[in-house]
Structure 1
Amino acid sequence: MVKQVRPGLCITRENPAKIRSKYNITKTPIVWLTKAKGSECPSVDPAELFKLHPTIDNFIKKVDDGIVLIDSLEYLILENDLRSVIKFMEQTNDSIMASDSRLILQIDPLIFDTKDHHLLKRWMRSLTEEDNYNV
Structure 2
Amino acid sequence: MAIIIAVLAEVAFISLFLITIGRRRKFISHYPELKRFYDYAMLSFLVGVLGKSVFLLLDLRSNGLLLLTSEQVNLVNAVGNLLALLAAVIFIAGWWSLLTVLTERYELVPVIEFTGKEEGEPLKPGLYLCNLPNCYPVIAKLLRGRAGLIVSRHPPEVVRERLNIEKTPILWLSTVRDKNAVSPTRLEFLLQTMVDFIRKTDDPKIIFLDGVEYLILENGFAPVFKFLTTLKDYTTIYNTVVIVPLNEEALDERIVNLMHREFEMLRLQP
Higher relative contact order (CA 8 A, sep 6+): 1
Aligned residue identity for 1:121:
H
Answer yes or no: is the 8 Å Cα contact 1:3–1:25 preserved in 2: no
Matched with 2:253 is: 114
Q: Mapping of 1:1-135 within 5 angstroms?
A: 1-37=141-177, 39=178, 41-63=179-201, 64-128=203-267, 130=269, 132=270
Question: What is the identity, as a one-letter code, of the residue corresponding to 1:21?
Answer: E
CA distance in 2, matches of 1:78, 1:65: 31
Whether the 8 Å CA contact 2:213–2:251 is kept in 1: the answer is no
Unaligned runs of 5+ in 2: 1-140
What amino acid is aligned across from residue 90 of structure 1 in structure 2? T
| CA distance in structure 1 between the aligned counterparts of 2:243 and 2:182, rounded to whole angstroms | 19
Q: In the superposition, relative to structure 1, how do residues 96 and 3 fare at CA in structure 2: closer, same or farther (>3 Å)?
A: closer
* Structure 1 residues 128 and 2: CA distance shift in structure 2, 3 A: closer
Secondary structure class of the residue paired with 1:68: strand
Higher radius of gyration, 1 or 2: 2
Q: Which runs of 4+ in 1 moved over 3 A?
A: none
Question: What is the Cα-based RMSD across aligned positions, in Å?
Answer: 1.6
Q: Is the contact made by 2:143 and 2:206 (CA closer than 8 Å) also made in structure 1? A: no
Aligned-residue sequence identity (percent) comes to 32
1:72-94 superposed Cα distances (whole Å, 9 cap, x missing partner): 00111111111111111111111
Structure with greater helix percent = 2
Gaps of 5+ in 1: none
Q: Secondary structure at the match of 1:122?
A: helix
- TM-score normalised by structure 2 residue count: 0.45
Calculate the TM-score normalised by the size of structure 1: 0.86
Distance in 1 of aligned mates of 2:199 and 2:182: 20
Point out the more displaced range, 94-103 or 109-118. Answer: 109-118
Q: Take 1:69 and 1:58, find their aligned partners in 2: how far apart are those partners?
A: 15
Pairwise CA distance, 1:5 = 1.5
